[in-house]
Amino acid sequence: MTLRTLGGLSVEGVTFRREKVLLLLAYLCLEGPQPRRRLAELFWPEAANPMNSLAQHLVHLRGLPGALAEDGPRVAAGMPCDAALLREAARRGRAGEAAALYSGAFLDGLGIPLGNDLEEWVYDTREALALEARAALLTLASQAAARGQREGAGEYAARALGLPGAPPPDELDLPRLHHYLTLAGHPLATQVERDARTLGLDLDAAPQLDAAPFVGREAELAALGALAPGQLAWVSGHAGMGKTALLEALARSGGWTVLPGRADLPYSTLAPLCSAPPPVPTRRWPPARPPPETGPGRLGTGGRGHPRRAGPGGPHPSRRRDCGHGPRPPAL
């Protein structure tokens, strides 16, 4: 048996209508073992005898095989729960499993009165689980886009946008949603653009990259996708091994900027990251120094550093060269 809390509240395969009893079980599933007194004060804050109310509800839970694990003053859940399974799948990086488990908002349709603290827990948990499901769907959209499956990426993004129980996308999710929806030509991209303008965000257009399916290099793509912001990776290999295809797949996955190498100007590869293009380096020569005072018969310094005889007026300007060095252009 499994406790279903996403999209409703029930026990799989069992007809059980007591919502407060199942809510108590859901709390234990998600929050772990709890002291009895803590549960009594949270669930029945205004009851004349909260511990008695808890005892009565625990009697009903004992009627569900394997639902409870009791250890003196503490109580724990002994039944699997879909919300807890979703959290575990998300923690282990199993995005497909986490997305499949999310069948609706947490405790959707719950109709019993709750105390302030318990009501706040329900709403906070509902939002947190929806955000984990949205993150899983965006991960699946990223993987689909990386493989050139634009329609699949758009479908995952559309699900993430309209996820039941989730808050409106924030300034971090909107660019990713816009990226995948635009790649797929999905009509919801316009809605995301409106939401972004409301928040003052300027969304860049999705890059027009080759949509050919990406085959192989799954381990390398996963390693690059796992890099945290600010981390670097060096992609190298012989010609024809798929380095460009790997980077294009990474760019399609969203959240990345791939800069094609350029050899025309120093640091020109990084120009798209700058507010202004890098300046063209020019060699600056220091001003010419006045010629040394020489008289007939004295040696001056020639242009190549070799001694030569100076005439009455010193070295000829057209033949004099300064041996100083200006700033060197940066090396790549």
**Tell me: the pLDDT tens digits for 43-86?**
999 999 999 999 999 999 999 988 999 998 999 999 999 999 99
Q: Are 237 and 245 in contact, with CB atoms under 8 Å apart?
A: no
Query: What domain range is 5 assigned to?
Result: 1-80
- Top-confidence residue, 250 or 284: 250
- From CA 140, how far away is CA 146, in angstroms rounded? 10
Do the domain assignments include residue 231? no
What pLDDT was estimated at residue 298? 41
Do the domain assignments include residue 218? no
Query: Is there a single domain that holds both residue 191 and residue 97?
Result: yes
For residue 62, the number of C-alpha atoms closer than 13 Å in the C-beta half-sphere is: 8
Left (φ > 0), alpha (ψ -120 to 50) or beta: where does 165 sit? left
Domain boundary among 16, 51, 80: 80
Do the domain assignments include residue 157? yes
Query: Is there a single domain that holds both residue 187 and residue 99?
Result: yes
Amino acid in position 226: A
Query: Is there a single domain that holds both residue 96 and residue 150?
Result: yes
Query: Is there a single domain that holds both residue 172 and residue 191?
Result: yes
- What is the chain's alpha carbon radius of gyration, rounded to the nearest angstrom? 34
- Report the range of poorest mean pLDDT among 123-127, 151-155, 181-185, 308-312: 308-312
pLDDT tens-digit map of 169-225: 998 899 999 999 999 999 999 999 999 999 888 886 544 444 455 566 777 877 787
Q: Which helix (H) or strand (E) holds 300?
A: strand 299-301
Do the domain assignments include residue 149? yes
10 Å CB burial of residue 56 (0-12, 13-18, 19+) is exposed
Strand, helix or coil at 75?
A: strand
Q: How many domains is the chain partitioned into structurally?
A: 2
Query: Is there a single domain that holds both residue 51 and residue 106?
Result: no
Query: Is there a single domain that holds both residue 61 and residue 152?
Result: no
Do the domain assignments include residue 331? no
Helices (H), the chain: 19-31, 36-43, 50-62, 82-91, 95-101, 116-146, 150-161, 173-183, 188-198, 218-225, 243-252
Query: Is there a single domain that holds both residue 189 and residue 101?
Result: yes
What pLDDT was estimated at residue 274? 67
Task: Sheet with 68-71: list strands edge to edge.
Answer: 34-35, 74-77, 68-71
Query: Is there a single domain that holds both residue 40 and residue 104?
Result: no
- From CA 128, how far away is CA 71, in angstroms rounded? 29
Do the domain assignments include residue 63? yes
Do the domain assignments include residue 300? no
* Residue showing tokens 């005889």: 309
- Top-confidence residue, 32 or 279: 32
Query: Is there a single domain that holds both residue 29 and residue 52?
Result: yes
Name residue 71's beta-bridge partners: 74
Please state the rounded mean pLDDT for residues 23-51.
Answer: 96
Q: Are 213 and 147 in contact, with CB atoms under 8 Å apart?
A: yes
What pLDDT was estimated at residue 59? 95
- From CA 35, how far away is CA 38, in angstroms rounded? 5
- Report the range of poorest mean pLDDT among 33-47, 221-235, 248-262: 248-262
Query: Is there a single domain that holds both residue 73 and residue 32?
Result: yes
Q: Tell me the pLDDT of the chain averaged across its residues.
A: 80
Q: Which helix (H) or strand (E) holds 48?
A: none
- From CA 76, how far away is CA 117, in angstroms rounded? 20
Do the domain assignments include residue 124? yes
User: What confidence tier does 8 reach under pLDDT thresholds 50, 70, 90?
Assistant: very high
Domain boundary among 173, 193, 209: 209
What pLDDT was estimated at residue 203? 80
What pLDDT was estimated at residue 287? 60
Name residue 35's beta-bridge partners: 74
Query: Is there a single domain that holds both residue 27 and residue 98?
Result: no
What pLDDT was estimated at residue 324? 39
CATH number of the structural domain spanning residue 64:
1.10.10
Domain boundary among 183, 209, 235: 209
Query: Is there a single domain that holds both residue 111 and residue 205?
Result: yes
What pLDDT was estimated at residue 78? 92
What pTM value is reported for the model?
Answer: 0.66
Question: For residue 242, is pLDDT > 50?
Answer: yes
Torsion sign over Cα 185, 188, 191, 192: negative
